[in-house]
């Protein structure tokens, strides 16, 4: 409504830049609580997505297995979560957040969200709705694209259209 429907490439460029600049700003807040963006995101998957395996976490975070392994090593060392071997299939490991992890996540969320929310406070309801709708749209698009990307490992751009 605010724009006369620009072409997809234009929108893509703007959205990309906006995402970069937003995250640069929010990263500072994340560090204030001692939880990096990557840890925060992983922890929220574990906390809200219930117990989860390492492979599933890697998928959810769209990163490689080794990346998750190392991320978890640090997080377990810091007491944010713990690994548990599955009784039936002893290859798989279940991740569960510790109370400390859950608490830190909430606190980090609160703080990080407070920073952005303070920025958003000046907006009128229509603008808030705009952002919420856009965020939801982006999540859906990324999720769909990731699914398509799995069957076609490289060059996922060509698969649609």
State the residues that interact with DNA by CB under 7 A.
24, 36-39, 53-56, 61-74, 83, 88-93
Structural contact between residues 32 and 73, judged by C-beta atoms closer than 8 angstroms: no
Helix (H) or strand (E) holding 145: helix 125-151
Of 54, 45, 60, give the one whose Cα is nearest residue 102. Answer: 45
Q: Pick what 65 binds: a copy of itself, DNA, none; C-beta below 5 to 8 Å, kind-dependent.
A: DNA
Contact stretch for a copy of itself (CB under 8 A) within 49-57, 83-91, 92-100, 117-125 = 117-125
| Rounded CA separation 94/54 (Å) | 7
Closer by beta carbon to a copy of itself, 69 or else 106: 106
Least CB distance to a copy of itself at residue 44 (A): 8
Chain centroid to CA 52 = 15
Least CB distance to DNA at residue 114 (A): 20
Which 136-155 positions form the footprint of a copy of itself (CB under 8 A)? Answer: 136-139, 141-146, 149, 154-155
Structure tokens at 147: 């699914």
């Amino acid at each position: 409504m605010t724009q006369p429907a620009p072409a997809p490439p234009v929108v893509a460029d703007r959205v990309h830049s906006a995402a970069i600049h937003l995250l640069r700003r929010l990263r500072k807040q994340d560090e204030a609580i001692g939880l990096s963006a990557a840890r925060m995101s992983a922890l929220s998957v574990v906390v809200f997505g219930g117990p989860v395996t390492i492979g599933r976490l890697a998928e959810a975070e769209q990163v490689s297995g080794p990346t998750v392994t190392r991320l978890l090593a640090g997080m377990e060392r810091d007491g944010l979560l713990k690994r548990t071997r599955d009784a039936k299939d002893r290859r798989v490991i279940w991740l569960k957040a510790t109370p400390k992890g859950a608490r830190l996540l909430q606190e980090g969320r609160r703080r990080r969200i407070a920073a952005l929310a303070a920025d958003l406070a000046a907006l009128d309801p229509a603008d808030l709705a705009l952002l919420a709708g856009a965020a939801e749209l982006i999540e859906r698009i990324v999720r769909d694209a990731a699914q398509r990307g799995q069957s076609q490992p490289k060059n996922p751009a060509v698969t649609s259209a």
